[in-house]
A = this chain, B = another copy of it.
């Protein structure tokens, strides 16, 4: 008999979040990625939650998991709840530190475009601290602490640049030596590892009746490939929107003026709360001017 008797307690919030994430993404591994922990940690949270509510939430399949009926019937509630938590947190951050702005961008976008815009940005919003975080996947702006995101999307309704195009680029000195197609094809063909298919794709579109046979190094970071191309190491198959500033400055030139349209486009998204922030408004305007 205790003085302050133990009450039946609520489930730990972190376990609830793990459930929501795993249920929404359809797997512990994906949830682990989103939450920046290991899959084992997620499994433990879920297990705890299942013990708390005395019922299984997932059916364990060989690959991945699937929700039980119970899991399905509460998922929507938890999505709503954590959306609300994320929204409130975003708002707290934005109101509390209006002089800090976080931008999320694909690594290549961050290094090739955003960096170039930063001076103008600083100019437009003085005294504001603009942070840029590179990541592979666009964050959920309703949940994570970013004000703006810049990612490629498939056939978006709205985009900064319109649909993108593949275009081969190289250093001016290298291009000067391309007297014929053979010279072009036998040069080193630089590419980005995550866009390794761009060279064959472009070639097939431009020379539909021929087989692509070029070769060359690939880099895990697009900006490394760009550096190599700038130093004359070969021809880079680039996304036009990413190298536009370099083409403008002359650091790179088009190696063969046959752009091939692709269905990706660069999209700028604003967090739901950014409407309240004149600072973000100003930054968006700078971006739209410079792009």
Contacts and interface: CB of A to CB of B under 8 A. Distances in A.
B97 A131 contact: no
Interface string A85-114: 111110111011100101000000000000
Contacts of A96: 53-55, 70
Contacts of A139: 7
A119 interface: no
Interface string A137-163: 001000111100000000000000000
B77 A87 contact: yes
A143 B55 contact: no
A62 interface: no
Contacts of A92: 11, 49, 53, 70, 74, 77
A208 interface: no
Given A74-B92, A81-B81, A93-B53, A145 B10 contact: yes
A13 B14 contact: yes
A134 B16 contact: no
A55 B16 contact: no
B85 A16 contact: yes
> Quick one: copies of this chain in the complex?
2
Contact of A133 (B8, B133, B146): B8
Contact of A134 (B5, B84, B146): B5
A81 B74 contact: no
A81 B70 contact: no
A142 to B, nearest CB: 12
Nearest to A146: B8
Contact of A85 (B81, B135, B143, B145): B81
A100 B144 contact: no
A145 B9 contact: yes
A144 B85 CA distance: 18
Q: Which 9 A-B pairs have the closest CB atoms?
A: A53-B96, A77-B88, A81-B84, A55-B96, A13-B13, A54-B97, A81-B85, A74-B92, A78-B88
